[in-house]
Amino acid sequence: MTVATAPGKVILFGEHAVVYGRPAIAVPVNQVQARAEVEDAPAGSGTTIVAEDLGREFRPRFVEPGDRDALALAHTVGNTLKRLGRPADLDLRITVSATVPMGRGLGSGAAVATAVVRALASHLGGYLTSRDVSELVYQTEILHHGTPSGLDNTVIAFGKPIYFVRGQRDEVFWLGRPFWLIIGDTGVSSATREVVDDVRRRWETDRASYEARFDAIGAIVERARQAMIDGDLTELGRLMDANQRELKAIGVSSPELENLIAAALSAGALGAKLSGGGRGGNMIALVDERTRDTVRDALAFSGAQAVIVTQVC
């Protein structure tokens, strides 16, 4: 049996604007993981996928077109076998599970797909670079999200902080100093695809002001990258607040997100913002060792449904 894992992710800066060609920064979250196991199955049995968290077992060949979760897994397996030059429907049993919560902007779909691609490559003795893995996972992301920027698959496949410009650049970079993030879940489900579509509709009706907002976010991302390289956490916190103001202005925040952001800031966070598609999902707060526990408790007290503490290094 072969096992592979992949982390979750959070976007630190630049969500939404990244869809319009501006840069973004994302980091892996190792506290949550997706896991895939691949084992040989009896001859002639074909491929079976066991999705433990969905409580399902199915054959990729027989997935119905409207069954999106199963379809995403089936496509991931099919595309990977093709990329490895192996026939479809090999005799394999593939079991997937994840502690990355689904639909919360933590990259669960990309993490599961990454674990599956890696486990298959390793089981079948194929060699894939992180970039190959990222490209395969992007194909699955299209099924989940429509026209994703590619940020999730890139940061998860590389497993390092990433500076990303859609279709142009993805650079791993090193931090001057590790830092702590608290991730607070509003408990509100929000489909990234719908929020991205809604931003597009608004952009279409008022391009000039949306382009100006995206430019402002792009400039924040550039400064944030430098602050991360310099290890300047005070500046990084200020930039998170500035990015949040822009996200609110483009209409992707929500009362629940604002409530958790305010709670984190009053408990001493250096900065806080929503992360990912918005209108629900997660917010993130930058903390140091002195404020870490206070901010975590403040978020839990203010109604966060789940709180993850993660060190970014």
Residues in contact with ligand MEV by the rule CB under 6 A: 11, 15-16, 18-19, 105, 145, 148-149, 151-152, 192, 196, 276-277
Helices then strands, each counted (H, E), the chain: 9, 11
- With vertex at residue 19, the alpha carbon angle to CA 15 and CA 25, rounded to the nearest 5 degrees, is 40
- Determine contact, residues 150/141, Cβ cutoff 8 Å: yes
Active site residue 241: no
Catalytic: which of 152, 185, 293, 297? 152
* Angstrom distances, CA of residue 21 to CA of 15, 30, 189, 256: 11, 28, 26, 28
- With vertex at residue 144, the alpha carbon angle to CA 141 and CA 150, rounded to the nearest 5 degrees, is 30
Please report how close the Cβ of residue 148 comes to ligand MEV at its closest, in angstroms.
Answer: 4
| Residue closer to ligand MEV (CB basis): 196 or 299 | 196
Containing H/E element for 93?
strand 92-98
Tokens of 8: 């979750």
Q: Which residue's structure tokens are 């608290």?
A: 182
Q: Is 217 exposed, middle or buried (0-12, 13-18, 19+ CB in 10 A)?
A: buried
CB within 8 Å of 46: residues ≥ 6 apart: 59, 61, 89, 90, 91
| Residue closer to ligand MEV (CB basis): 95 or 154 | 154
| Residue closer to ligand MEV (CB basis): 19 or 242 | 19
Looking at this protein, which amino acid is placed at residue 15?
Answer: E
Please report how close the Cβ of residue 147 comes to ligand MEV at its closest, in angstroms.
Answer: 7
Tell me the three-class secondary structure of 55-68, residue by residue: CEEECHHHCCCCCH
Tell me which residue has its CB nearest to ligand MEV.
Answer: 149
Please report how close the Cβ of residue 276 comes to ligand MEV at its closest, in angstroms.
Answer: 4
Please report how close the Cβ of residue 71 comes to ligand MEV at its closest, in angstroms.
Answer: 19
Please report how close the Cβ of residue 135 comes to ligand MEV at its closest, in angstroms.
Answer: 15
| Residue closer to ligand MEV (CB basis): 166 or 238 | 166
CA 34 – CA 51 distance, rounded (Å): 11
| Residue closer to ligand MEV (CB basis): 148 or 280 | 148
CA 102 – CA 253 distance, rounded (Å): 19
Residues paired with residue 36 on neighbouring β-strands, in sequence order: 4, 96
Please report how close the Cβ of residue 160 comes to ligand MEV at its closest, in angstroms.
Answer: 18
| Residue closer to ligand MEV (CB basis): 96 or 252 | 252
CA 45 – CA 277 distance, rounded (Å): 40
Looking at this protein, which amino acid is placed at residue 44?
Answer: G
Tokens of 303: 């109604």
| Residue closer to ligand MEV (CB basis): 60 or 184 | 184
**Residues identified as active-site:** 152
